[in-house]
Structure 1
Amino acid sequence: MAVAGLAVATAAIAIGFGLAPWWAVIIPAVLSAVAGALLVQDPPSYSAAEANVPSRDSYDPPAHELIERIEHPFIVVDAKRRVELANAMARKLLGEHIVGQDVRLALRNPAAAALLTEGAPPGSRTELLDLGGQDQRWELLADPIGNDKQAVRIVDRTALRAAEKMRVDFVANASHELRTPLATLIGFIETLEGPAVEDADARRRFLAIMRGEAQRMIRLVDDLMSLSRIEADKHRQPTAPVALIPLAEEVRDALGHRLAKGERKMLIDAEPGLPPVAGDRDQLLQLLHNLVGNAIKYGRPGTTVKVRLRRDGASMVRLTVEDEGEGIAAEHLPRLTERFYRVDPGRSRSVGGTGLGLAIVKHIVERHRGQLLIDSEIGVGTRVTALLPTAASLG
């Protein structure tokens, strides 16, 4: 146990002095401690009648405590390929009965069983599907620790796989959104080079459509870049004081031509003495622009877009944008902030939507450590609320 104790002590010193991240030090140290605990005792003897598997209490107390504290499921497989030791996380995942069980029965995974029964080389790993749940993904990592035994960690990769799927879906959706206007442009260019080359009216009509498709691509690229910048800064909470009433007035002026086009009005209803929020002014301006822009797009002509600003308790400000439109069915509400999700794809594209507006709003609110709420009623309209912390609440 001197070797095991030295490994753990060295790990503590390395972490304490910032020489290495905790995960790069603790895991090897724990494996060293386990190896020490197992190598200092004689290999367990098995009779033909029964398998005498050492209990967890037979291990050195410090090593046992370290094993129990490992945050991933962790097991020790003995020379006869039985589970000799399992920490609490492993017993929770695989069942309390696994100690003493053949590792093939404990894991019920052909690839993992083959890896462990054939003697895994250092750093061996394999994927485990549907362990603990249909949609979960795990990775098994095995290392020999002496006496023909193996230390096995089972790491949950579900979140990592989900993030990878989101990335793949995002690239596919972005490619599709860019491909559609590009295909339209190419089609009209070919027409202008051929049948419409001498038709002035057709040229004007086609050029107007081409301009619209090009502007749509510019909006999409701008939104993608905005989303990227917001995500890059998501771990840095903005702290500058920002007054929301002037921002709302600025958005009303900027979108005045769109309001007038549909004979709509924008009403700003603000509580007197409203405190400033802690925020990034440009991002909050974009948030308001996206929400008011959506309300104009989907509200009925001749109606009013309402922007309400209220205190919400001692430390928050409630910003609400409300339209009078067709409303959104309840089953769509949970997905509205997904990238490229559209309730009505045809209508969204026809009014110039990129499918990223509410995704950007969600990320801005999250960066500001706020909360986003969306309510809608068919035939009445939609109300989007952002709760934002006041500048005073951050001290």
Structure 2
Amino acid sequence: MTNDTSGNSHNPLPGWKEMLSRRRALLLVVAIVLLVIAIAGGASYWGMAIAFLAIAIAAAFIPSAPAIGKAAPANGADTERDAHIIAFADALGDPCLLLSRRGVIVHRNSVAAREFPSARLGDPVAFSFRTPAMLTAIDAAMQTGVAQTVELHLTVPNETWYKVMISPFRMGGPTADPTLTILTLQNLTDQKRVEAMRSDFIANASHELRTPLTSLIGFIDTLLGPASKDQAARERFLGIMRGQAQRMSKLIDDLLSLSRIEMRQHVLPKGTVDLGILLREVSEGLESLSQEAGVAVSVEVPEGKTNVTGERDELYEVFENLLENAISYGGDGGKVDIVLAPVSNRPGYDFAVTVTDYGPGIEPQHVPRLTERFYRADADSKKKKGTGLGLAIVKHIVQRHRGNLTIKSQPGEGTRVEVLLPR
């Protein structure tokens, strides 16, 4: 079977150039043997050259041992069966390879040709897949006739994981020796990444809770011991303990909020919100924070209605988070601009809200990861009061409202966050 849906020839006999290419190793060995014989005086050079030429012609035009789809059957049953096997492999949405008894690739579907271009027809499977566990499983399946499953982890060109299912196929019935071995590779990359994100999330959440909890326990032990009768120390420690307790409370609130938003991710909002009014309310709500930081906040909205479909509380949380971040992390610039404007050149969106600060900015490598849970760009950001979940919450809310979130930043130039929303 040499059919290849990626554009390989379907001719039953390949061209003489291809045949020579496939048998180049054999021809090299023959040439060396003939040369040794000639040097040893066993024959003339011309005789050896003529013999080599005859062997090369035979190698170019005599077909190799028949594989699936090549044999001349006594009737049409074998041909029809081969066609069914090929059709089955080609219909799969996962990469599929068919191997001969010797482990040579005799067919690959279009998905396999795209994802594993090095898996060429006529090559042993070991040329393309060098993972010992996978090759051992293939050998075991061929020897025992029992299906095998193994995990394949590739790091080049990108890190990917596959579940490889190796199934011996018996054309002569259940008691016959396996005629073919079917390799199906199921991509597990997304699943592995989700598992890694879940593990990271649990580890980060545990760490974020453990830090203030450890601090609380330490202060409690101090108050019960050396500082039990020290009024000044007690008042100072209780103030710190209150701050740590509030930090844990905020973290739990953000975790619950994120969980709630994710559960409603595919439920479209039904309310109506005037963005202009909402943005002014957000600015007024954070006025004390901006004054404390010495940051002037300006809000620019167009005249008239700026209504969008959305959940008011969720959209308030979006812009409160963005403005609070701009004040806390970009306050060095002394001002933050909030601009609401209609858009006509962004298909699917009607309004753009931009929050711009003029602070130190963010290194480019950090920008794509800012919406990850608990991700912090640098050590200084960990000193802030945030939980590291704010932008993750913002991203999910914007997605639920069929919007788009874009963050642009350069060191020394500040940060600009844009939220696009439809009506």
The TM-score bracket by the shorter chain reads 0.7 to 0.9
**Following superposition of structure 1 onto structure 2, how do residues 237-386 of structure 1 map, counting pairs within 5 Å?**
237-300=268-331, 303-313=334-344, 315-345=349-379, 347-386=380-419
- The match for 1:135 is 159
4+ long deviations beyond 6 Å: none
**Following superposition of structure 1 onto structure 2, how do residues 1-395 of structure 1 map, counting pairs within 5 Å?**
50-55=64-69, 61=83, 64-95=86-117, 98-119=120-141, 124-130=148-154, 133-147=157-171, 148=178, 149-300=180-331, 303-313=334-344, 315-345=349-379, 347-390=380-423
1:310 alignment partner, SS class:
strand
C-alpha change, 1:187 and 1:125, in structure 2 (3 Å) is same
Residues 361 and 412, structure 2, Cα contact 8 Å, conserved in 1: yes
C-alpha change, 1:275 and 1:55, in structure 2 (3 Å) is farther
Larger CA deviation: 202-211 vs 295-304: 295-304
Larger CA deviation: 51-60 vs 170-179: 51-60
Deviation at 1:308, TM superposition (A): 1.0
1:118 alignment partner, SS class:
helix
Deviation at 1:175, TM superposition (A): 1.2
Amino acid corresponding to residue 359 of structure 2 in structure 1:
G
Deviation at 1:187, TM superposition (A): 1.1
Deviation at 1:248, TM superposition (A): 1.4
Deviation at 1:309, TM superposition (A): 0.6
- The match for 1:14 is none
Q: Over alpha carbons, which structure has the higher Rg?
A: 2
Equivalent-residue separation in structure 1 for 2:323 and 2:119 (angstroms):
59
C-alpha change, 1:281 and 1:62, in structure 2 (3 Å) is farther
Q: Deviations over 1:175-232 (max 9, x none)?
A: 1111111111111111111111111000011110111011111111111111112222
What TM-score do the two structures reach when normalised by structure 1?
0.78
Residues 94 and 107, structure 1, Cα contact 8 Å, conserved in 2: no
Deviation at 1:362, TM superposition (A): 1.6
Residues 148 and 165, structure 2, Cα contact 8 Å, conserved in 1: yes
Equivalent-residue separation in structure 2 for 1:110 and 1:378 (angstroms):
47
Residues 56 and 85, structure 1, Cα contact 8 Å, conserved in 2: no
Amino acid corresponding to residue 367 of structure 2 in structure 1:
L
| Consecutive unaligned residues in structure 1, runs of 5 or more | 1-48, 391-395
1:300 alignment partner, SS class:
helix
Superposition CA RMSD, Å: 2.7
Larger CA deviation: 325-334 vs 364-373: 325-334
| Consecutive unaligned residues in structure 2, runs of 5 or more | 1-62, 72-78, 172-177
Deviation at 1:357, TM superposition (A): 1.2
- The match for 1:33 is none
Deviation at 1:388, TM superposition (A): 1.1
Identical counterparts, % of pairs: 39
2:248 alignment partner, SS class:
helix
Equivalent-residue separation in structure 2 for 1:105 and 1:348 (angstroms):
49
Equivalent-residue separation in structure 1 for 2:357 and 2:133 (angstroms):
56
